[in-house]
Amino acid sequence: MSQAMPATVQPAKPAIPYRTASEVSGGDIAGAFGAAIALLVLALAAAWLARRLGWMQRWGVGPVGAPAPAPSLRIEQTLRLSPRTVLYRIADGDQRFLLAETREGVQWLPLAAAGPRQEAAHAP
């Protein structure tokens, strides 16, 4: 019995040529980091210029000229009528309202404008 000698095996040629260069160098990392910093500086400069020229206000992003006035709505007095009912006297500028809050809902009643003399006349 004689056995045939196998043919010499040669490595297959790779289908995809692999990169034989070295890994990423420090210079490549520094270049990418420098480009990112440059883009950040460019974006900040553009935002500063847009704010300075008033473009942010036009786009509705920046602050408007005068600050908004403080809201004048305030609770002047609170009166607990029962464990489940609270009465609030609310003022909005010169207007006054009564708000009754119960478990069943809320009722809103505008009050007539009362001057200091009318309030003093009703005092006991």
What are the sequence ranges of the domains in the chain? Answer: 26-59, 73-121
- Distance between terminal CA atoms of the chain? 134
- Is 122's pLDDT higher than 60? no
**Model-level pTM greater than 0.85?**
no
Average pLDDT for the chain: 80
Of the two residues 6 and 90, the one the predictor is more confident about is 90
Quick one: which H or E segment has residue 107? strand 106-111
